[in-house]
């Protein structure tokens, strides 16, 4: 004779079943789908040839972990770093080149390398993520759009970076923040990456100088000193002994501001670089302090801030 199972025992089993299933999933006995954490093997790029004068260059790798928290790690060029992110959640990953100068406070990073996750993995279908310089431009625009409350994944930013590189040779001639602003306003046009006229400028010493953009050519040697072909606007260079800001006007005349190890330290944000190659006023947020904003007009470069020496150069 079969005895009926007590109703209380059946009810207790129903309550315990979800807990038991969760434990089995956690132990790997039951598989409810792909894991939430994606472990990536991130490859840092080698510096471009134009940065050969910066042998002590380091990278600051930045990403968001599986919990959405901002993380960073110091890395050397050409190295690999293992990180964890939330699987499939889009994010911009940056590697900020940090130049080192003797006797100076840390300088603002140069233009970064980067990648858009998970887009950059779609072609390889692997866990190896290679950061590159066009990806740094695309990732920077994505972060600027995101910080403004916009959805960066609504735009094909990888294609935009490739278009900028193909049209002008250096997409950073249009600052990432300005590209983001034009995208947000719906006013972006492909001719924003047109090649600009350039002026020959003899850079002052002490050198050598590396251009801030990884796509820009290194200054050439000349009898008068390092010679750089620069567009109208503001350009930044970095060297072992300091950094150099060069403002070129419409006539090709240049004003050079040098911050060297022998001068008192001053924040680079005193003259932001985001107005390079343009006459409009642009709000710039430092990558070191996203909340800080400054406005720049070319007239601001006429007075040297504390920590900089000022020299005037005409077209070579």
Domain membership of residue 270 as a residue range: 198-313
Q: How many helices (H) and strands (E) does the chain have?
A: 4, 16
Tell me: do 183 and 270 sit in the same domain. Answer: no
* Domain final residue pick, 158, 193, 228: 193
Tell me: do 52 and 166 sit in the same domain. Answer: yes
Tell me: do 175 and 128 sit in the same domain. Answer: yes
* Domain final residue pick, 147, 170, 193: 193
* Domain final residue pick, 193, 221, 254: 193
Q: Is residue 2 part of a domain?
A: no
Mean per-residue pLDDT for 20-45? 67
Tell me: do 219 and 235 sit in the same domain. Answer: yes
Tell me: do 144 and 264 sit in the same domain. Answer: no
Q: How far, in Å, are 28, 36, 41, 179, 208 from residue 33 at the CA level? A: 11, 9, 22, 38, 54
| CA–CA separation, 269 and 294 (whole Å) | 8
Q: What is the 3-state secondary structure of 233-291?
A: EEEEEEECCEEEEEEECCCCCEEEEEEECCCCCCCHHHCCCCCCCCCCCEEEECCCCCC
- Note the pLDDT tens digit of each residue in 70-99: 999 999 999 999 999 999 999 999 999 998
Q: How far, in Å, are 11, 15, 236 from residue 8 at the CA level? A: 5, 11, 76
Tell me: do 118 and 229 sit in the same domain. Answer: no
- Note the pLDDT tens digit of each residue in 6-22: 555 444 444 444 444 44
Helix (H, G, I), strand (E, B) or coil at 15: helix
* pLDDT value at residue 3: 55
In contact, 139 and 93? CB cutoff 8 Å: yes
* pLDDT value at residue 182: 96
In contact, 301 and 245? CB cutoff 8 Å: yes
Number of domains in the chain: 2
Tell me: do 44 and 183 sit in the same domain. Answer: yes
pTM, 2 dp: 0.74
In contact, 13 and 100? CB cutoff 8 Å: no
Mean per-residue pLDDT for 201-218? 92
Tell me: do 188 and 46 sit in the same domain. Answer: yes
- Note the pLDDT tens digit of each residue in 40-75: 999 999 999 999 999 889 999 999 999 999 999 999
| CA–CA separation, 118 and 249 (whole Å) | 42
Q: Is residue 119 part of a domain?
A: yes
Tell me: do 117 and 244 sit in the same domain. Answer: no
The CA radius of gyration of the chain, in Å to the nearest whole number, is 25
- Note the pLDDT tens digit of each residue in 102-155: 556 678 899 999 999 999 998 777 899 999 999 999 999 999 999 999 999 999
Helix (H, G, I), strand (E, B) or coil at 96: strand
Q: Which residues pair with 41 in a beta bridge?
A: 82, 128
């Amino acid at each position: 004779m079969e005895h009926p199972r007590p109703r209380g025992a059946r009810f207790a089993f129903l309550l315990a079943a979800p807990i038991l299933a969760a434990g089995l999933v956690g132990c790997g006995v039951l598989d409810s789908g792909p894991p939430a954490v994606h472990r990536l093997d991130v490859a840092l790029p080698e510096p471009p040839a134009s940065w050969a004068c910066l042998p002590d260059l380091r990278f600051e790798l930045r990403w968001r972990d599986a919990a959405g928290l901002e993380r960073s790690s110091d890395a050397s060029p050409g190295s690999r770093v293992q990180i964890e992110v939330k699987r499939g959640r889009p994010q911009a990953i940056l590697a900020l080149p940090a130049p080192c100068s003797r006797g100076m406070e840390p300088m603002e990073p140069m233009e970064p390398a980067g990648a858009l996750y998970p887009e950059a993995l779609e072609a390889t279908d692997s866990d190896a993520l290679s950061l590159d310089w066009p990806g740094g431009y695309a990732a920077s625009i994505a972060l600027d759009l995101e910080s403004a409350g916009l959805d960066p994944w609504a735009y094909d930013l990888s294609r935009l970076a490739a278009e900028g590189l193909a049209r002008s040779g250096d997409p950073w001639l249009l600052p990432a923040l300005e590209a983001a602003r034009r995208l947000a306003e719906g006013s972006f046009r492909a001719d924003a990456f047109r090649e600009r006229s350039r002026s020959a400028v003899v850079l002052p010493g002490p050198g050598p100088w590396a251009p801030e953009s990884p796509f820009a050519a290194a200054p050439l040697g000349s009898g008068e000193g390092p010679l750089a072909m620069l567009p109208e606007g503001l350009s930044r260079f970095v060297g072992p002994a300091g950094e150099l800001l060069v403002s070129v006007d419409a006539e090709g005349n240049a004003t050079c501001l040098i911050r060297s190890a022998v001068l008192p330290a001053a924040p680079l944000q005193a003259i932001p670089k985001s107005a390079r190659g343009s006459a409009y006023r642009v709000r710039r947020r430092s990558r070191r302090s996203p909340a800080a904003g400054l406005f720049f007009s070319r007239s601001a470069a006429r007075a040297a801030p504390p920590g900089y020496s000022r020299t005037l150069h005409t077209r070579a």
